[in-house]
């Protein structure tokens, strides 16, 4: 007994050490010399992925100096209109890669290399790879300036630390001790799920959500602490975290669930691979998020969930028999070890029998099998392990909507997540074959508005690959993009301006390409996709001297509709 207690104590102490562990052997320079305020934590649950770094706010401004965490060599630079925007990757002798994203610009030395390559490739969006020591940097060297580029929702630095060998992102908080956090996680809700056939919760074969309140130092399900249940029951928790001096919602590191003091579930996230990050949609209750916005983390594992964050190798569901009682306890911790606890009881109720309500339009699909369908003018190809569990697939054709170019097909339920791409094709009537290159697939919002789902004509069908169910029909795009000068000066005299700006937009298929020419020569304009702007910085156009010039803007959408705008201006 004495040795057992000692073993348990050692395990507990070891876990406490790991939670909040600093990599003390690695001494990294902080990427910015301002008070660190975290607006996004590592492993935070984002759309279709886990957050792979930390977001550090920059006081609503751009242009703060970004310092290299240690000596090393630039391994990669990527510039894109979305995603990370302007991003910089540096490999270090410690075996780590640091990543700096949403940058405004690079240091002059690095920026000159990037700009030269952009002119060579005649493209704003580029991706460059460098050999070891080809572009060295010193520890603490200014390598960039903070910004708001790409898909950033506001000025900040996205900062990552990765294992250089496999590029797995690691918890950046483990490498620093200057971020204050004395706020414990906030448990917001509890959800119970009937998993096995005939399972019940409170006398019904459906899931139950209960909000959570806090009193007496712990969290409690609101209104009740005892839930009648029978069969295999899955449990989920809605939780978020805050750090000191920040109101931004962040994520937690560790979730443990105990049944009668036995650990039945444990998730712990301090590293993951990009190859597995989309399994987030199996980790959360995807349906609940789509319907209500609540983010419930399952404390049980779906059959096709391959995440590596689970520390016990089982499915984690809890079996409840009639007359049985199980005391459940959540222990939830953030990276700093701040802990929140919630308890409740599952009370075994009598087993019940439920009737199936399948219809002819619904087909049961097993997640481990592949399926093809060719019916009603629709083709569908689904590979094995596209879903995280067996699903009910609804396929319905509606010919009653007269304003559309084809029937409207309902394919599946948009609240069901797909891990792999499935292939969809809708037959093209003969009357549209003369405009086949302009055809695409339309999606429908909940309010009935249409938007482009992409796709292209192929052998009598408009086909696309997608990871989203929904309503689809044929659409057509024959309208060219719009181009407009943004806030031009009087008489187009840009002598006192640092840049020239243009807004571009497209009504349906989206912008595929843009090019800008001054006096017939290609010039670099940055594309800020979230604001629909092209921005040409005159300092990046050394060939443009003082005097009269002509600007030509060329824009093409994804269905090859083209617009051009030509203006004369003075510099």
Distances in Å between the alpha carbon of 113 and those of 15, 130, 187, 212, 286? 46, 11, 49, 54, 43
Separation in Å, CA 104 to CA 68, 86, 186, 284, 478? 16, 7, 34, 34, 36
Residue 288, token pair as written in the block = 């609940």
Q: Torsion over CA of 83, 86, 91 and 92, rounded to 10 degrees?
A: -110
CA dihedral for 357, 467, 296, 14, sign (positive or negative): positive
**Would you state the structure tokens that stand for residue 142, as one six-digit string?**
């200014």
Contact call for residues 177 and 22 (beta carbons, < 8 A): yes
Instruction: For residue 189, list its beta bridge partners.
Output: 211, 238
What is residue 337's three-state secondary structure?
Answer: coil
CA separation, residue 41 to residues 251, 298, 389, 409 (Å): 6, 20, 29, 40
DSSP 361-391: TEEEE-TTS-EEEEETTEEEEE-TT-SSS-E
Measure the CA–CA gap between 461 and 440, rounded to whole angstroms.
10
Compute the half-sphere exposure of residue 5: CA atoms within 13 Å on the CB side of its CA: 2
Q: Which of 114, 129, 112, 122 is nearest to 79 (CA)?
A: 114
Q: How far apart are CA 330 and CA 316, in angstroms?
A: 13
Q: Are 110 and 121 in contact (CB under 8 A)?
A: no
For the chain, give every domain's residue range.
16-175, 186-348, 362-476, 482-570
Residue 554 in contact with residue 517, Cβ under 8 Å?
yes
- β-strand pairing of 96-106 with 142-146: antiparallel
pTM for the predicted model, two decimal places: 0.92
Instruction: Note the residue count of the chain.
Output: 571
Quickly count: other Cβ atoms within 10 Å of residue 358's Cβ.
9
| DSSP assignments along 74-88, one per residue | EEEEEE-SSTTSEEE
Continuous H helices in 311-380: none
CA gap 51, 167 in Å, rounded: 14
CA dihedral of residues 316, 322, 326, 332 (deg, nearest 10): 40
Is the Cβ–Cβ distance between 145 and 104 less than 8 Å?
yes
Query: Which listed CATH number (2.70.70.10, 3.30.1110.20, 3.40.50.1000, 2.80.10.50) goes with 16-175?
Result: 2.70.70.10
Which pLDDT belongs to residue 359?
Answer: 56
Partner residues linked to 50 by β-bridges? 45
Closest CA to 26 of 63, 62, 69, 68: 69
From 560, 404, 545, 552, select the one nearest 480 (Cα to Cα): 560
Q: Which CATH architecture has domain 362-476?
A: Sandwich (2.60)
- Counting runs of H as helices and runs of E as strands, what totals does the chain give? 4, 43
CA distance 360 to 375: 14
**CB 67, CB 51: distance < 8 Å:** no
Which contiguous run of DSSP H or E holds residue 290? helix 286-292
* Paired tokens of 126: 């580029």
- Provide the residue-wise pLDDT of the chain in tens; the chain has 571 residues: 443 333 333 434 344 434 545 555 789 999 999 999 999 999 999 999 999 999 999 999 999 999 999 999 999 999 999 999 999 999 999 999 999 999 999 999 999 999 999 999 999 999 999 999 999 999 999 999 999 999 999 999 999 999 999 999 999 999 998 899 999 999 999 999 999 989 999 999 999 999 999 999 899 999 999 999 999 999 999 999 999 888 889 999 999 999 999 999 999 999 999 999 999 999 999 999 999 999 999 999 999 999 999 987 666 789 999 999 999 999 999 999 999 999 999 999 999 887 665 555 789 999 999 999 999 999 999 999 999 999 999 999 999 988 899 999 999 999 999 999 999 999 999 999 999 999 999 999 988 899 999 999 999 999 999 999 999 999 999 999 999 999 999 999 999 999 999 999 999 999 999 999 999 999 999 999 999 999 999 999 988 899 999 999 999 999 999 999 999 999 9
pLDDT of 315 reads 65
482-570: CATH superfamily: Immunoglobulins (2.60.40.10)
């Amino acid at each position: 007994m004495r040795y057992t207690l000692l073993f348990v104590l050692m395990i507990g102490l070891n876990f406490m050490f790991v939670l909040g562990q600093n990599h003390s052997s690695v001494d990294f320079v902080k990427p910015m010399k301002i008070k660190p305020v975290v607006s996004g934590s590592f492993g935070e649950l984002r759309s279709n992925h886990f957050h792979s770094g930390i977001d550090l706010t920059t006081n609503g401004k751009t242009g703060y100096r970004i310092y290299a965490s240690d000596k090393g060599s630039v391994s990669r630079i990527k510039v894109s209109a979305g995603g990370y925007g302007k991003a910089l990757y540096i490999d270090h002798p410690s075996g780590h890669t640091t990543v700096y994203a949403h940058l405004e610009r690079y240091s002059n030395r690095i920026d000159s290399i990037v700009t030269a390559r952009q002119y060579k490739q005649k493209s704003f969006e580029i991706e460059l790879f460098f050999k070891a020591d080809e572009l060295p940097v010193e520890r603490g060297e200014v390598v960039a300036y903070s910004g708001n580029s790409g898909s950033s929702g506001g000025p900040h630095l996205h900062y990552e630390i990765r294992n250089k060998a496999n590029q797995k992102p690691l918890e950046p908080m483990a490498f620093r001790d200057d971020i204050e956090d004395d706020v414990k996680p906030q448990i917001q809700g509890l959800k119970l799920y009937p998993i096995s056939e005939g399972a019940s919760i409170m006398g019904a074969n459906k899931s139950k959500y209960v909000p959570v309140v806090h009193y007496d130092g712990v969290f409690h399900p609101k209104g009740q602490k005892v839930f009648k249940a029978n069969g295999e029951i899955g449990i989920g928790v809605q939780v978020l975290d805050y750090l000191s001096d920040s109101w931004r919602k962040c994520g937690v590191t560790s979730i443990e669930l105990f049944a009668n003091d036995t650990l039945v579930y444990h998730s712990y996230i301090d590293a993951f691979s990009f190859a597995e990050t989309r399994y987030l949609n199996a980790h959360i209750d995807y349906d609940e998020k789509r319907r209500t916005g609540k983010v419930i983390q399952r404390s049980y594992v779906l059959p096709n969930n391959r995440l590596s964050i689970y520390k016990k190798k089982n499915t984690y569901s809890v079996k409840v028999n009639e007359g049985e009682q199980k005391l459940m306890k959540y222990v939830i911790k953030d990276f700093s070890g701040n802990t929140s606890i919630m308890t409740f009881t599952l009370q075994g109720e009598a087993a019940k029998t439920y009737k199936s309500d399948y219809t002819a339009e619904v087909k049961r699909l097993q997640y481990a099998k592949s399926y093809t369908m060719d019916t009603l003018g629709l083709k569908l190809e689904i590979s094995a392990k596209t879903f995280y569990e067996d699903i009910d697939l609804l396929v319905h054709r509606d010919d009653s909507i007269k304003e559309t170019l084809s029937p409207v097909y309902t394919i599946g339920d948009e609240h069901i997540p797909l891990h792999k791409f499935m292939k969809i094709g809708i037959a093209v009537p003969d009357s549209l074959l003369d405009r086949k290159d302009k055809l695409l697939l339309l999606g429908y919002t909940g309010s009935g508005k249409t938007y482009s789902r992409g796709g292209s004509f192929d052998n009598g069908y408009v086909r696309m690959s997608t990871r989203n169910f929904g309503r689809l029909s044929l659409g057509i795009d024959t309208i060219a993009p719009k181009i407009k000068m943004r806030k031009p000066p009087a008489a187009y005299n840009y002598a006192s301006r640092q840049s020239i700006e243009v807004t571009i937009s497209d009504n349906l298929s989206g912008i595929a390409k843009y090019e800008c020419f001054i006096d017939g020569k290609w010039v670099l304009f940055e594309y800020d996709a979230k604001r629909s702007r092209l921005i040409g910085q005159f300092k990046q156009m050394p060939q443009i001297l003082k005097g009269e010039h002509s600007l030509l803007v060329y824009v093409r959408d994804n269905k090859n509709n083209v617009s051009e705008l030509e203006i004369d201006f003075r510099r």
